[in-house]
């Protein structure tokens, strides 16, 4: 779900974290990076550059 929000919307990362049930943006970013391998902002940048 977070990947979709990051790649298909311009929603701020803090709001993406909230939508995914995280109350702490930093915790969300750490968890996302440990699972996906990149930070949410890097993921968004890469997904938009791929079109």
Determine contact, residues 36/43, Cβ cutoff 8 Å. Answer: yes
Tens of pLDDT along 2-51?
999 999 999 999 999 999 999 999 999 999 999 999 999 999 999 877 65
pLDDT reported for residue 1: 94
Give the contacts of 29 (CB within 8 A, at least 6 positions apart): 13, 17, 39, 40
Question: Which CATH number fits the domain 2-50, given the four candidates 3.30.470.20, 3.50.50.60, 1.10.10.60, 3.30.360.10?
Answer: 1.10.10.60
C-alpha closest to that of 32 among 13, 51, 11 = 13
pLDDT at 37: 98
User: Which residues touch 15 (CB under 8 Å, ≥6 apart)?
Assistant: none
pTM: 0.86
Helices and strands per DSSP (H, E), number in the chain? 4, 0
């Amino acid at each position: 779900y977070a990947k979709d929000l990051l790649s298909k919307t311009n929603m701020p990362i803090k709001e993406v974290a909230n939508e995914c049930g995280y109350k702490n943006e930093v915790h969300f970013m750490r968890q996302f990076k440990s699972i996906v391998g990149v930070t949410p902002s890097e993921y968004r940048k890469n997904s938009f550059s791929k079109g």
